[in-house]
Amino acid sequence: MSNRRIVLASRPVGAPTLDNFRLEEAPVPTASRDGEFVVKLQYLSVDPYMRGRMSDSKKSYAPPQPLNEVMTGGAIGQIIESRNPKFKEGDFVQGQFGWQQYALSDGTADGARKVDPNVAPLSAYLGILGMPGLTAYFGLLDVCDPKPGETVLVSGAAGAVGSYVGQIAKIKGCRTIGIAGSDDKVDHLRNDLGYDAAYNYKTVTDHNSKLKELAPDGIDVYFDNVGGVITDAAILNLRVHARVAICGQISQYNNEKPEMGPRLLGMLIVTRSRIQGLLVMDYAARFGEGVRQMAQWLNEGKLTYRECFEDGIENAPKAFLSMLQGGNTGKQLVRL
Ligand SMILES: NC(=O)c1ccc[n+]([C@@H]2O[C@H](COP(=O)([O-])OP(=O)(O)OC[C@H]3O[C@@H](n4cnc5c(N)ncnc54)[C@H](OP(=O)(O)O)[C@@H]3O)[C@@H](O)[C@H]2O)c1
């Protein structure tokens, strides 16, 4: 038996490619010290933040992914050996276990948490009940404070975070507008996720006019997953006292130099709006609250979710690159 794993082989210049990764084999780890346990992983998450970690940037909130080491990433699986009384053999556990088949944990450094497969399927703990779901929950409710009747605009609306944000905004009685990168995704936003309006950003050149058409009275809340020209247009359409959460800037992640956009900060004076960056880990102490509420909405049928799977550890890089290019609707995962 071996532990097949994906390491970072080189740092990308511009868009990452399959050559930036390498598949390796190592011995399956064993729990040789008290407190350790071994997890046989069943699902891996691929997320946009990993693109940032692949670069050697000093301007990140987290250190770069070291070369030739297992790619960082959330994962979930079952404990097959344990010397830790809090994590028993047979328990299901999630944590920052990386892109590999087996992980050795001490129960703390990787943020290991037990999960209950009776509440939701295991994979949901990497999506709607995991980091992306918590990002949507705290980002929308805490940073943006949406009120009933307000208009909420979401970019990256058909991906993991965006698909949850739109639904939570509807639960809160808001009018929702979603932006995504294909006609199929736009149909999904309207028909499955309850968005009141949606458009395909790849077939629209004048985002300002499009937003004026869809939100003639302006936007109260903008949940930004993408940045770039879409965000420039959103800022031009804010209402007085609007709130903007900068969750992600995926349109910029492959840029070697920052892109300069129109300088629209004056609009914040005109509208007395607030723009705030958000980092889900800042809410770690409240994750229990977020998971409980999301699970309740899920069980009440107020939330729905989609997942996309690639099978096999060897396909983790492919799943990651596909997600960066919009191949996913909902949460992109790797099934082992
Ligand atoms: N701040 C935090 O704590 C935090 C936590 C989690 C995620 N995030 C951020 O939230 C955003 C969404 O993350 P996620 O995990 O839910 O990923 P995701 O939305 O499931 O997947 C990424 C999506 O980005 C879209 N995209 C790619 N290039 C784009 C471009 N140039 N312009 C516009 N859209 C583009 C693609 O959809 P299309 O087909 O629509 O292009 C793709 O499906 C990312 O920016 C991520 O970095 C932030």
* Residue-wise pLDDT tens digits, 92-139: 999 999 999 999 999 999 999 999 999 999 999 999 999 999 999 999
Q: Identify the DSSP state of 104.
A: E
Q: What is the mean pLDDT of residues 81-99?
A: 98
Q: Check pLDDT > 90 for residue 315.
A: yes
Strand (E) positions, the chain? Answer: 2-8, 21-27, 37-45, 75-82, 92-95, 102-105, 113-114, 151-155, 175-180, 197-200, 219-224, 238-246, 274-277, 307-311, 331-335
Domain ranges of the chain: 2-126+306-335, 131-281
2-126+306-335: which CATH number, 3.40.640.10, 3.30.420.80, 3.20.20.70, 3.90.180.10? Answer: 3.90.180.10
Q: Identify the DSSP state of 100.
A: B
Nearest one of 72, 68, 123, 126 to 98, comparing CA atoms: 72
To the nearest whole percent, how much of the chain has pLDDT over 90?
96
pLDDT of residue 60: 86
Q: How far apart are CA 186 and CA 195, in angstroms?
A: 9
3-state DSSP call for residue 290? helix
Q: Check pLDDT > 90 for residue 165.
A: yes
State in Å: Cα 25 to ligand 1 middle. Answer: 31
Q: Check pLDDT > 80 for residue 142.
A: yes
Q: What is the mean pLDDT of residues 306-322?
A: 98
State in Å: Cα 28 to ligand 1 middle. Answer: 33
User: Residue 156: CB within 6 Å of ligand 1?
Assistant: yes
* Residue-wise pLDDT tens digits, 63-79: 999 999 999 999 999 99
Residue reference for tokens 């247009």: 233
* Residue-wise pLDDT tens digits, 188-222: 999 999 999 999 999 999 999 999 999 999 999 99
Residue reference for tokens 């899920």: 298
pLDDT of residue 175: 98
Q: Is 268 left (phi over 0), alpha (psi -120 to 50) or beta?
A: alpha
State in Å: Cα 154 to ligand 1 middle. Answer: 11
Q: H-type helices in the chain, by residue range?
A: 49-54, 131-138, 160-171, 183-191, 207-214, 228-236, 266-271, 287-299, 316-324
* Mean pLDDT, the chain, whole residue set: 97
Q: Give residue 57's pLDDT band: very low, low, confident or very high (50, 70, 90).
A: confident
Nearest one of 160, 151, 206, 209 to 180, comparing CA atoms: 160
Q: What is the mean pLDDT of residues 259-286?
A: 96
Q: How far apart are CA 163 and CA 328, in angstroms?
A: 12
Q: How far apart are CA 329 and CA 182, in angstroms?
A: 10
Query: Which of 250, 255, 259, 276 to probe ligand 1 with, by most ligand atoms within 8 A of CB?
Result: 250
Closest-lying ligand 1 atom to the alpha carbon of residue 161: 16
* Residue-wise pLDDT tens digits, 45-54: 999 999 999 9
Tokens of 176: 């929702």
Q: How many residues does the chain have?
A: 336
- The β-bridge relationship of strands 331-335 and 37-45 is antiparallel
pLDDT of residue 258: 86
What pTM was computed for the model? Answer: 0.98
* Residue-wise pLDDT tens digits, 5-37: 999 999 999 999 999 999 999 999 999 999 999
Query: Which of 200, 201, 225 to probe ligand 1 with, by most ligand atoms within 8 A of CB?
Result: 225
Q: What is the mean pLDDT of residues 157-178?
A: 98
Q: How far apart are CA 324 and CA 254, in angstroms?
A: 10
Q: Give residue 1's pLDDT band: very low, low, confident or very high (50, 70, 90).
A: confident
Which residue pairs from 114-117 have beta carbons closer than 8 angstroms and sit at least 24 positions apart in sequence?
Answer: 114/87, 115/76, 116/92, 117/92
State in Å: Cα 200 to ligand 1 middle. Answer: 15
Q: Check pLDDT > 90 for residue 59.
A: no
Q: What is the mean pLDDT of residues 277-295?
A: 97
State in Å: Cα 132 to ligand 1 middle. Answer: 10
Q: Whose CA is nearest to atom 41 of ligand 1?
A: 181
Supply φ then ψ for residue 243, to 5 degrees.
Answer: -125, 135
Nearest one of 231, 230, 176, 235 to 205, comparing CA atoms: 230
Q: How far apart are CA 278 and CA 305, in angstroms?
A: 23
- Do 131-281 and 2-126+306-335 fall under one CATH topology? no
3-state DSSP call for residue 241? strand
Looking at the structure, give the CATH architecture of the domain made up of residues 131-281: 3-Layer(aba) Sandwich (3.40)
User: Residue 226: CB within 6 Å of ligand 1?
Assistant: yes
